[in-house]
Structure 1
């Protein structure tokens, strides 16, 4: 498969290495925003891992030439509705997640189950902590926001989330977002009252896991759709559209 990589920082380079190891061809690499849609028009798919400020523009460029795009960048989800509308209007293909990691998605399921079990137990106060490397610009992480939204959906005591430096109320979930050197990503959920404390956590051991999850997500989606006899490009389009 011909893959274009959009964003050539540490993660982009790791994605490049993993894609080559898995037998893919790197069609184009975009380092920065000074590139055109035509640069990637011959790609089977693109992986976008840039910065929150440039992600949406990069996604639109993929839509313009109907190149399916997997997005690992977070911090732009306040524009998600508009991006999805543009995807449908331009007949594009978008596969976006706050975290493609298998371990994190198992953690998500545990988080939802725990929130459901704790629902109604208002004496237990919940909080979320996320720790990432200092190069991560968005706060809180997209994964932490997903965790908070899952708790809100499965727990009857909470309606919103706030960063720890914001005003917190009884119906809000406090998120502590910390930035430290060389931390790939750690997320924890904590429930406590005056008697005891219940915690769950996920700790990424390296950024390679994040890069591997992005490449695997694209690969798996295309394999599933190709089973119906589609071309790689058409298969990527259909597989991604099903995940909107």
Structure 2
């Protein structure tokens, strides 16, 4: 499989390593000032760039009918436009706020717990995410996905980085050196606390998941998520 890397920072380099280990070839790398010349030779593209570049990168792939995987966060105000364009061009697009197998299992656990806790009004939910200081967006895309999982399965309606109002989920975003990603969901009552937590030890899981998603999307048309890749939609 010939892979294009859109974004060649720390994640891009780890993705390259994992892809080569799995027998694939990196035929194109785009850094911030690069052009799209050569992108057309790719079988699939993996975008781990920056929020300001993600939409342009994804559109370039859709224009060339190249399946594209995006793990860039912080651009989701344009997500529905990308979905519409993908469908119009009969392309293939997969966005994941986190490609780690463990995190996607954590998403399912979070949604299941939210359904249970929706019956217990004495508990208030809040979240905390900790990432490396180079991370540009806050809260993380993973934290937003976790919040959305609670919102879809409870009476909560939104999330905030500020002090939570009624039916809002408070998210605390912390930036520390060399932290790949830690996410916690808390349910607090006057008498106790329930906590679920995922801690990433390195970025390898994110990179491997992105390569697996790229392998999976070849030959498909439509808009997908890691739930499709991992067969978690049942």
Q: Which residue of 1 aligns with 2:224?
A: 243
Q: Which residue of 2 aligns with 1:103?
A: 102
CA distance in structure 2 between the partners assigned to 1:79 and 1:97 by the alignment: 14
8 Å contact from structure 2 (residues 99, 205) kept in 1: no
8 Å contact from structure 1 (residues 4, 27) kept in 2: yes
What is the CA distance between 1:177 and its match in structure 2? 0.7
Q: Which runs of 5+ in 2 are unaligned?
A: 226-234
Q: SS of the residue aligned with 2:79?
A: helix
- Could you tell me the TM-score, scaled by structure 1's length? 0.89
- Could you tell me the TM-score, scaled by structure 2's length? 0.92
CA distance in structure 2 between the partners assigned to 1:161 and 1:86 by the alignment: 28
8 Å contact from structure 2 (residues 163, 170) kept in 1: no
Larger helix proportion of the pair: 1
Q: Deviations over 1:198-222 (max 9, x none)?
A: 0000001101111111111112344
1:210 aligns with 2:191: no
CA distance in structure 2 between the partners assigned to 1:192 and 1:243 by the alignment: 34
What is the CA distance between 1:34 and its match in structure 2? 2.7
CA distance in structure 2 between the partners assigned to 1:3 and 1:184 by the alignment: 24
Q: Deviations over 1:6-54 (max 9, x none)?
A: 1010110111111111110111111114312x42101100100000111
Q: SS of the residue aligned with 2:137?
A: coil
For the pair shown, the structure with the greater C-alpha radius of gyration is 1
Q: Which runs of 5+ in 1 are unaligned?
A: 223-234
Q: 1:83 to 1:242 in 2, by over 3 A?
A: closer
Q: Which residue of 2 aligns with 1:200?
A: 196
What is the CA distance between 1:121 and its match in structure 2? 1.7
Q: Which residue of 1 aligns with 2:126?
A: 127
Q: Which residue of 2 aligns with 1:160?
A: 158
CA distance in structure 2 between the partners assigned to 1:122 and 1:106 by the alignment: 26
Q: Which residue of 1 aligns with 2:2?
A: 2
